[in-house]
Amino acid sequence: MSAAELTGLTAFRNEPYRDFHQSGNRRAMDEALAKARAELGREYDLLIAGRAVKGEGTFASFNPSKPAEVVGVHQKGSVGQAREAVESAHAYFAEWSLTPASARIGMLLAAAELLRKRKSEFNAWMILEAGKNWVEAEADTSEAIDFCEYYARQMARFTRPDPLLQLPGETGELMYIPLGAGIIIPPWNFPLAILAGMTTAALVTGNTVIIKPSSDTPTIAAKFAQLLLEAGFPAQSVTFFTGSGAAVGDALVSHPKTRFVCFTGSRDVGLHINELAARPQKGQIWIKRVIAEMGGKDAIIVDSEANLDEAVSGVVASAYGYQGQKCSACSRAIVDESLYDAFLDKLKARVAQLTVGPAEEFGYDMGPVINARARTTILGYIEAGKREGRVIAGGGAAPGEGYFLQPTVIADAGPDARIFQEEIFGPVLVVTKARNFEHALELANATEYGLTGGVYTTNPEKIRVAKERFFAGNLYINRKCTGAMVGAHPFGGFNMSGTNSKAGGPDYLLLFLQAKSIAEKKS
């Protein structure tokens, strides 16, 4: 892209969602699902420095709605191959970092357009491999497009930094340069959007990347890596590497030529990565940068002055969208005692209307959880909830061959209960009574996490207080606490929720850059 084209970029706008009640959109998705089904069971190779490489064995990903169905067969990369991947990415960084930003921006915009044209295809793979229903898959792919479009425009901004104070007899400038080779470790729950956001932010700023996807959703990552190559990114700039996180993840993170790690996932894995990256290795000449988003135990406060119907709708949407498998999901509703019983009555009736079934079939509110291990863990929390509170809805598995669970509500849980404190990552909502708004804030903040939160109230003073004292990276007033939109809701949390990276915000690309100040004496 030329300088004129960079300055002439249109203002960013979020990608619109399609309505699948319209016959044309419905037909496009049916056709995409049929096409993806024809590819089920295909084997995918590692991509290292532009070469397709076999691993030391293979593993499969499965359809959580039909666990006997293999979605993709992937390579078990070895520790030696992991080291080779970092070495290759590091070697190519010198060339890629000097590629003009305008060229990188052009590639990213091309990737956005390819995603837009192949929206139904990527939706289909998420439905089959991640168990997302049609609406959730559409939102995921749309967010991936948003990240590409938004970060392209943000990089254009960073090519023109704000001018510095010019001292007499000198010219001064500030420029931003990329970091080096980085490891991208995306989660399975947003297997395209978060993957795309982290990867494209690193690439457009001039870094090389090694993508290490979750073993639950590697096929989606393979498809996206191929799309980046089609968009013009050089093969050596993008490495696709699959395998056991425990076996090869540590090798990728600890390599002395790894410059940064961008991770989204659980608290425990994030802390392990942070600890490992902090230990300097022989030959390492930098402090590794870790960008981490690690989950939450998010609360919505329903105040005595709330619109009760709106609060119930917002809590249900936040708690059960994608089966509660979002780090932003509402897992705690903290309700003023004056309307606690009325809230529970309305909540129970609304949850009873939710439908559960295979993600591939249009119309179900909830699909499966991601795998058998997750289902077992969630059922364990439900059993704990029966001891620590009172189950008023759900409470067990839902029928079907997939990993289906009933949307569950556990009332009367105290602040010391496991189900109040620990991230469950499933369709389980805990409801706790608060004496007043002050007490509700105390309960909301009584956790090691600080990702999202919400407040339903019509009282302006309580809104003001919540803005100051509700400790969450993303706070929502009188709306659900999920569904952060790129450009509108920069996303990232505090404390054990991560490094507050603010993905989709105006300062996110700075995490992949370093500033260089230059002063030249005039002759």
Catalytic residues: 293, 327
How, if at all, do strands 51-53 and 46-48 pair?
antiparallel
72 Rama sector, left if φ>0, alpha if ψ -120 to 50, beta otherwise? beta
Q: 336, 432 in Cβ contact below 8 A?
A: no
For tokens 């000097």, the residue is 98
**Tokens matching residue 468:** 């100051």
Q: In sequence order, what are the residues at sequence separation of 6 or more whose Cβ sits closer than 8 angstroms to the Cβ of residue 490?
A: 474, 484, 502, 503, 504, 505, 506, 507, 508
User: Residue 61: which of 138, 124, 130, 155 has the closest Cα?
Assistant: 130
Please state the φ and ψ torsions of residue 340, each to the nearest 5 degrees: -60, -50
With both helix axes pointing from N to C terminus, report the angle between 101-117 and 119-130 in degrees, rounded to the nearest 10: 70
- 71 membership: H or E segment, kind and range: strand 66-75
Can you list the alpha helix ranges (DSSP code H) found in 255-307?
267-278
In 285-383, DSSP assigns E strands to 289-293, 298-302, 330-336
Amino acid identity at 297:
K
- β-pair partners for 366: 356
In 3-state terms, what secondary structure has residue 198?
helix
Q: 505, 152 in Cβ contact below 8 A?
A: no
d(CA 177, CA 184): 19
Distances from the Cα of 172 to the Cα of 52, 158, 163, 516, angstroms: 46, 16, 8, 11
